[in-house]
Amino acid sequence: MNENRRDFLKRTAFAAAASTLPLSAASADSAGTTSALPPVLNLGLLAALGDAVLPESLGAQVRSLAVRDFAAWAAAYRPVSEEMHGYGDQEITYTAADPSPGWRSQLEALELLAHRKHRKGFASITVEQRRALVRPQLPRGRGLRLPANIVGAPHVAVALLAHWANTSAATDLAYGVAIGKDQCRVLADAPRRPLPLAENRGR
C-alpha cells in the first residue's frame, strides 16, 4: 500500500519521538483490527493515565488494551475526511483537525506537572496523585456526560475514557449482560434476554 502524506507525517513525527516510547507501535484499533500506524501519543504516559482514569476493576491487562485501542484510534484518524451527510443534511461536512497534537501536549504537561509537584514522572507517582493532577484539567459541570464525539474531547483523559465507554464491552459491563451493541450478531437471538456476563453468573 502506498504511504499517503498523512501517514508519512505521522511516521516521521513518531520517529522524532520514538526514544520516549516504551511500548510497541503495533496495536489494535477500536474495531479490533491490527493497525500498522505508529502511535502519535506517548504510550507510556497514556498507560499511566489509563491506570488512573479507567475502571480499576477492568484489571491491568484490559486497561492496557483499552489504552492501545485508543492510541491506535488516534493514529488512524484522518482529518478533513468527508462526514456522513445523511438524510436531511444538505451540507457536506468534514472531520475536524487531528486532535492528537493537543492531546500529546496535554500528556506532556501532565509529565511536567508531575515532576514539578512530585519530582517524579507521571508514570511513577501513585494513581491518586495522578488523578489529583488530572482533575483540575477537566471541564466543569454537574452531571456532565462523556462526549459521544471523542474528537471534541477537551482533554486526553476525557477522550480516553469516552473511547473506552463507547465500546461494546463497556456497555455490556454497565448493563451486566452481553448485549453486544454494534456487533453483528445472530438475528434469532434478539428476543432472548441477553446472557449475564461471566463475572455476574451465580449472583
Partner 1 sequence: MSVRVIETDICIIGSGITAAMMAEKLVNERKVHVVVVEAGGTSGPLAERYERRRRWQAYGETPWPRDHIDDQNALGTAYGFSPSMNVGGLAMHWGGVTPRYSPEDFHVRSLYGVGDDWPISYEDLDPFYQEAEERIGISGEQGPPELDPRGKPFPMPALPLSYSLQQLKDWTAKAGIPMWSQPSAKNSVPYQGRGVCQRCDSCYPICPTGAKYSPDFTFDALVRDGRIALHTNTLVRRLHTDARGRITHATANATSGPERETEYRAKHFVLAAGFTWSPHLLLLSKSARYPDGLANRSGLVGKYLCGHRNVAAQIRLPLQIFPGINAQHSLVTKKFMRPGKLDKYLRHDLRVWESAYGSEPRLRDDKGEVLFGDAMLADWRTRAKAGVARVRGYYDVLPDKHSELTLDASAKNRWGDPMPNLQFRDAPESVALRGHSEDSLRALFREMARVGDGQVISNESSANDIGQEHPGGGCRMGSNPETSVVDGFGRAHDHENLVIAGAPTNVTASCCNGTLTFAALGLRAASALGANYQSAH
Binding site for partner 1 (CB under 8 A): 29-31, 33, 52-57, 73, 76-78, 81-90, 92, 95, 131, 134-135, 138-146, 148-149, 151, 158, 161-162, 165, 168, 170-171, 173-177, 179-188, 190-194
* Cα–Cα distance list, 19 to 27, 38, 44, 185, 190 (Å): 18, 13, 11, 43, 49
Hey, what's the cell of 41?
Answer: 501519543
**To which residue does cell 483540575 refer?**
136
Q: What is the DSSP string of 153-175?
A: -SSHHHHHHHHHHTSHHHHHHHH
Residue 57 C-beta: closest distance to partner 1, Å: 5
Residue 120 C-beta: closest distance to partner 1, Å: 20
Identify which of residues 20 and 185 has a Cβ nearer to partner 1 in the complex: 185
Identify which of residues 16 and 84 has a Cβ nearer to partner 1 in the complex: 84
Instruction: Find the Cα–Cα–Cα–Cα dihedral 94, 162, 28, 53, rounded to 10°.
Output: 140
Identify which of residues 19 and 61 has a Cβ nearer to partner 1 in the complex: 61
Residue 18 C-beta: closest distance to partner 1, Å: 25
Hey, what's the cell of 86?
Answer: 445523511
Q: Tell me if 118 sits within 8 A of 125, measured CB to CB.
A: yes
Residue 147 C-beta: closest distance to partner 1, Å: 8
Rounded Cα distance between 62 and 116, Å, is 30
Identify which of residues 17 and 62 has a Cβ nearer to partner 1 in the complex: 62
Residue 5 C-beta: closest distance to partner 1, Å: 17
Identify which of residues 22 and 139 has a Cβ nearer to partner 1 in the complex: 139
